[in-house]
Structures are given as structure tokens and as C-alpha cells.
């Protein structure tokens, strides 16, 4: 794979879509058709499905913000269809993880209590809230006990990160100069090109984590170490400029967890010199990005992360009403303990009660919409991968735990709005080959 050429292609892709957003739809269709054709022609002999799915995870946000999909959840459906196609055409038998099968089945009983006013509300509500768990289910089945080299996992992350170059180019062209944006102490739609700052920041945090992980294991996305550092720098700057905190915090904490666990569990860092150098470089990128955005925003970035209203200097709700939403959904859970209120009914219920409609936590949403069945599903979703990782070689556990942390953190602050958490969740179930030799 000639990484520098792929990087240049995606710079051009971001530029052309910024100039002509209608191209986004054709690009989206072309990716899906090429992916399915490639998988069918090769019989998924070299896990082409996993690579194409990872690419769609990376480019999903760009296609979604530019109207590249016929339906809102097309990114998640595309990932699911591609992985499912790969499983159907491959020669090797599918290994079904029984706990994940139970996870999927436990989300079905609550359909008995759904009460939508019309079919369109039913379609959009269920699609919005269950397309994420569907992606998680299919990804877990695809990767479960699938023998893969650790280097292939790194390749998956490389391909996932490459489309983020197009996202950065698009944002740079479409949005005003960061110094010209008017900043408050809330999420900034101008800095995210009018699209949801939460989702944009989540993807920027994903990019920072993935690039950091790749560099830690001696790999790059662009083909050059210094270019990847610049890439990381821009990802952090654009993510911080959205003033949406979850994605940034999740990416930084996941990378930190990877380093700490590597030292404690796997002793991946051979020398303190290497650890110190890596930490200084990563810390410098974070510090420079923070100082730059804080300066152009007149220190309002600091106010935002401290939960302080810059106009009054008074503390405000640091959770941006997330705690209020969480409490509301937990109340719905206790009031509808057995089956919950039904999949997709969170928004309908909130609208009837004149409450904040958008859920942000996959955990409280699952409890509210699926009741005790949802509680069991969540326990499986959390406990099964943690237990699975515990039986695998120590050398790779830090990577898996860092991935799992990023997934759960994303689900907590951004639910499963994107295909990314569901797809990445499944990655922890692959069966690593020659791990020790590839990690040293």
C-alpha cells in the first residue's frame, strides 16, 4: 500500500467535495459498489471486507455532512452489509459468539411496546437507535476468533484514518479561519461546518487515538513520521475548535491508557528513553493544539472545559444538560422496568413531555428503551469482551483495553450515532497470530 499516494488522493477528494458537495453522493455509491465487487470477486480471501468496512468508518462523517447518503444511518448499514457479505462469500465457517447472539436477542422483546404515531416515525426512530447495535453485532460475529496478524489490525487502522485527511481538508475550506469564528462556551457549529460538533469531535478524537497507536508501534498513515505528527496536530486543533469535549477527552485518555498499560502489562516500551521521547512528542502536540485554540478563542476553550460562563465567570452546567437527560432516561427505566418504552421511543416520549429530545448515552438509552432486557444486554456487552481479553496474550491486552475504553467512552457521550464504536468494538474479538514477534 503506497501510503503517500493515498494521502494525496484524499487531499484532492476533500478539496473537490468542498467545491462540489453533490459529488459526495456519487463518491458514497462508488465506494459501496467497489467494496462489494471487490469482496465478491476475491471471496474475501484476505479479509477485504474488514478493510472496506474500516474505510467507510473513516469517511462516514464526510459523506454524512455533505449529503452523500440516501438515509441518515447509511454508514452503519454499509459497514454491516459489507461485513455480512464477507462472511457469506468466505470459505471459512462463521464462529458465533453466543454472548453476542444473546445481546442481539435481548433487544427484541421491547418491540412489543413500541407506539409510534406513523410508520415513518417508526422507521426513523428504530433505525436511529438500533442500527448501532446491529453494527456492533455483525462486527463482533465477523471478527470473533478470526485469525489475523497484529499487523493487519494496524492496517485496518491505517485505512480508517486515511479518509480523515479529506475531512480535515473539507473543514479547512468550508469553515472560516479559526481566529474569525465567534466562540462562546458551548459546542461550536461554525467550526464543524454546520454539522454536529459532537460527531465531528468524536471522529477527530478517533483520528488522534489511531495515529498515536500507529506511531507507537512504528507505523504511519501518510508514510512519513513528521507528516503524521502534523496530521495529529490538525486533528486536535479542529476537534478542540468544535468545543465539543467528549471526543477529545476520549481520544487523549485512550492513548494514555495504551501507553500506561503497555508498561504495566506488556512492557512494550523497551527503554525509558523511548517512553520519554514518545511522551514528550505526544504531549507537545496536545499542548500546542490547546494553546493555539485557546488563544484564538480568547481563552474560552479553557472556560468551556472548566464549565464556566465566560460572560459572568460563574459555573454553569458542565455536562451541557447531559446529566438531566441521563436522569430522565433512568426515570423512564424505573417506570417501565420490564420491557422499557420500546426501541426508538426516547425521542417520541421526550417530545410529548417537552423535554430535551436527543439522547447521548447508549447505556441509559438502552435501559430506558429495553428495560431489564436492556440491562442484561449491557452487562453482556461490557463483561464479555473484558473477559475475552483476559484470556489473550499479555502483549496485546493494552491495545484491546485501549480500544474498548475508547468505544465505551464514545458510547457514553455520543451513543452510537456513528458506525465507528460498533465496528471497533468487534475488533477486540479477533484471534492474534504471531503477536509477540510483531509487538517487539
Q: Report the Cα 275 to chain-centroid distance in Å.
A: 27
**DSSP E strands, 114-237:** 147-149
147 SS3 class? strand
Q: Residue 440: what pLDDT?
A: 46
Largest pairwise CA distance in the chain: 65
Q: b/e string for 96-135 if b means 16 or more Cβ within 10 A?
A: ebebbeebbebbebbeebbebeeeebbebbbbbbbbbbbb
Nearest of 278, 285, 317, 313 to residue 299 by alpha carbon: 313
Query: Could you tell me which residues come within 8 angstroms of residue 306 by beta carbon, excluding any fewer than 6 positions away?
Result: 318
Residue 126 and residue 342: Cα distance in Å, rounded?
Answer: 9
Position 358 scores a pLDDT of: 66
Q: How far apart are the first and last CA of the chain?
A: 22
Over its C-alpha atoms, the chain yields an Rg (Å, rounded) of 21
Q: State if pTM tops 0.85.
A: yes
| Residue labelled with grid coordinates 499479555 | 394
Average pLDDT, 10 consecutive residues per value, the chain (440 residues): 82 94 91 95 95 96 86 88 96 91 95 80 78 95 94 95 96 92 86 90 96 92 91 95 92 93 74 78 92 93 84 65 81 91 82 67 92 96 95 88 96 91 96 63
Sole residue written with cell 428495560: 371
For residues 185 and 304, the answer to whether their CB atoms sit within 8 Å is: yes
Q: Count how many residues are written for the chain.
A: 440
Element (H, E) at 326: helix 322-335
Those residues with Cβ within 8 angstroms of residue 236's Cβ, 6 or more apart along the chain or in another chain: 204, 208, 248, 285, 286, 289, 290
How far apart, in whole angstroms, are the C-alpha atoms of residue 54 and residue 82?
10
Map grid coordinates 479561519 to a residue. Answer: 177
Cβ density class 394-430: b for 16+ within 10 Å, e for less: ebbbbbbbbbbbbbbbbbbbbbbbbbbbbbbbbbbbb
Amino acid at each position: 500500500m503506497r501510503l503517500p499516494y493515498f494521502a494525496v488522493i484524499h487531499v484532492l477528494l476533500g478539496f473537490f467535495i468542498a467545491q462540489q458537495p453533490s459529488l459526495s453522493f456519487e463518491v458514497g455509491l462508488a465506494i459501496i459498489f467497489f467494496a462489494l465487487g471487490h469482496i465478491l470477486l476475491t471471496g474475501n480471501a484476505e479479509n477485504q471486507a474488514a478493510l472496506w468496512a474500516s474505510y467507510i468508518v473513516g469517511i462516514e462523517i464526510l459523506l454524512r455532512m455533505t449529503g452523500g447518503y440516501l438515509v441518515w444511518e447509511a454508514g452503519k448499514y454499509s459497514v454491516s452489509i459489507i461485513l455480512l457479505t464477507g462472511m457469506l462469500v468466505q470459505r471459512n465457517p462463521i464462529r458465533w459468539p453466543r454472548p453476542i447472539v444473546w445481546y442481539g436477542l435481548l433487544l427484541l422483546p421491547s418491540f412489543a411496546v413500541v407506539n409510534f404515531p406513523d410508520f415513518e416515525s417508526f422507521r426513523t426512530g428504530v433505525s436511529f437507535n438500533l442500527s448501532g447495535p446491529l453494527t456492533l453485532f455483525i462486527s463482533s460475529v465477523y471478527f470473533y476468533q478470526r485469525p489475523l496478524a497484529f499487523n493487519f489490525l494496524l492496517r485496518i487502522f491505517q485505512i480508517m484514518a486515511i479518509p480523515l485527511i479529506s475531512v480535515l481538508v473539507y473543514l479547512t475550506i468550508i469553515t472560516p479561519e479559526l481566529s474569525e469564528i465567534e466562540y462562546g462556551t458551548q459546542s461550536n457549529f461554525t467550526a464543524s461546518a454546520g454539522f454536529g460538533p459532537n460527531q465531528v469531535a468524536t471522529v477527530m478524537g478517533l483520528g488522534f487515538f489511531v495515529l498515536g497507536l500507529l506511531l507507537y508501534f512504528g507505523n504511519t498513515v501518510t508514510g512519513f513520521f513528521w507528516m503524521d505528527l502534523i496530521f495529529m496536530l490538525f486533528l486536535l486543533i479542529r476537534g478542540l475548535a468544535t468545543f465539543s469535549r467528549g471526543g477529545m477527552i476520549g481520544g487523549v485518555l485512550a492513548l494514555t491508557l495504551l501507553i500506561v498499560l503497555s508498561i504495566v502489562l506488556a512492557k512494550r516500551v523497551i527503554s525509558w528513553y523511548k517512553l520519554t521521547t514518545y511522551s514528550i512528542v505526544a504531549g507537545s502536540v496536545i499542548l500546542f493544539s490547546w494553546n493555539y485554540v485557546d488563544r484564538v478563542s480568547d481563552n474560552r476553550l479553557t472556560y468551556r472545559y472548566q464549565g464556566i460562563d465566560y460572560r459572568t465567570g460563574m459555573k454553569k452546567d458542565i455536562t451541557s444538560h447531559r446529566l438531566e437527560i441521563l436522569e430522565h432516561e433512568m426515570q423512564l427505566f424505573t417506570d417501565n422496568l420490564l420491557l422499557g418504552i420500546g426501541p426508538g421511543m426516547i425521542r417520541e416520549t421526550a417530545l410529548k413531555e417537552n423535554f430535551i429530545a436527543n439522547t447521548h448515552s447508549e447505556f441509559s438509552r438502552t435501559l430506558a428503551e429495553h428495560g431489564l432486557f436492556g440491562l442484561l444486554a449491557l452487562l453482556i456487552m461490557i463483561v464479555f469482551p473484558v473477559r475475552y481479553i483476559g484470556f489473550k496474550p499479555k502483549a496485546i491486552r493494552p491495545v484491546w483495553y485501549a480500544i474498548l475504553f475508547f468505544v465505551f467512552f464514545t458510547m457514553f457521550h455520543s451513543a452510537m450515532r456513528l458506525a465507528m464504536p460498533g465496528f471497533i468494538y468487534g475488533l477486540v474479538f479477533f484471534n492474534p497470530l504471531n503477536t509477540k514477534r510483531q509487538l517487539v
